[in-house]
Amino acid sequence: MRIIVSGGAGFIGSHTCVALLQAGHEVVIADNFSNSHPDVLTALKKISGKEFLFHQIDVTDQSAVNALFLETKPDGVIHFAGFKAVGESVAQPLRYYQNNLLSTIVLAKSCLAYGVNQFVFSSSATVYGANPPPLREDMTLLPTTNPYGQTKVISERILMDVAAANPNFGVSLLRYFNPVGAHHSGLIGENPNGIPNNLMPNITRTVAGRLPILRVFGNNYDTPDGTCIRDYIHVMDLAEGHLAALNHLTPGTHIYNLGRGEGSSVFQLIHAFEEATGKQVAYRMEARRPGDLSVSYADVSKAKQELDWTAKRDLIDMCRDAWRYEENSHS
């Protein structure tokens, strides 16, 4: 199949492009490099040994997206493109609502206009709000704690309604937990612009000397070591989850958690990194951040049953690959 991957030069998008190309799909990347880097495209060709199409467009631009569909005639869309920094979304809510919702609407409109009936959406565990873990796809969604999470809730709703109104349209809503790691080649990985919002790039940049110290927010949560517990998943496991979702997509709405189904604390991830790399992580305790949940992890049984997909890589793999990418990209 020929698949348009919006945000295909980004962290999760680029790894999913690798999985698609290696599985024999044709890939059309649409990205404007707002939070990604052009050199990722060169790395993708080196990893996959295959060619793909690239269009530098903003997927909130309906005329540009229509032209892309008309030219490339895709069979499906995987939609990653979106702003994703929680704190920034609180400070700039209108920017997040405009970009994240409009990109979903524009791509869905082009799908309907050009008869493209397969749509895989990059959602998030933030849609569950403060539901108790393990989080299940059939839970009633509780209020999210930030505009970023709300854009995922609303985008999910938009796509559900599109599927309900168009009997041939199939959408898979993939609720990620905490993607970390990098491709084992060390050629692509997590490289956000500015100060990272996620834990792993903060760890790698601290150890590499690019940040002065790792800031750990809160050690008085109701968890065994006092730090937050999250469901960390290797980004290549996540990428393979998108491939499985695409391969099993049928008309209607399908919702899946993509995680490992178990939680690890901040300290556990730090210790795993030290074990995997032999490097010490210098950290400093700070006050809790507002809106952080103490524990979040997935029930992943539905993805295993319906998609025949489970995460295969562990914390050590995630840490080793993330550090290899850090060393390779800044050596």
Catalytic residue list:
148
**Rounded CA gap, 180 and 99, in Å?**
24
Q: Which residues contact 55 (CB under 8 A, 6 or more apart)?
A: 28, 29, 30, 68, 72
DSSP structure string for 261-305: SS-EEHHHHHHHHHHHH-----EEEEPPPTT--SB--B--HHHHH
Taking alpha carbons only, the member of 108, 84, 79, 106 closest to residue 95 is 84
In the DSSP assignment, the letter for residue 122 is E
Cβ contacts of 214 within 8 Å, gap of 6 or more: 202, 203, 206, 270, 281, 282, 283, 284
- 134 upstream amide cis, omega within 30 of 0: yes
**Residues 103, 79 contacting (CB under 8 angstroms):** yes
Six-digit token string for 265: 């604390």
Distance from C-alpha of 40 to C-alpha of 153, rounded to nearest angstrom: 29
Q: Which amino acid is at 276?
A: A
Helix or strand or coil: residue 165? helix
Q: How far is CA 237 from CA 15, 115, 266, 273, in A?
A: 9, 30, 20, 18
Helix (H, G, I), strand (E, B) or coil at 214: strand
Tokens at 138, concatenated: 């059939």
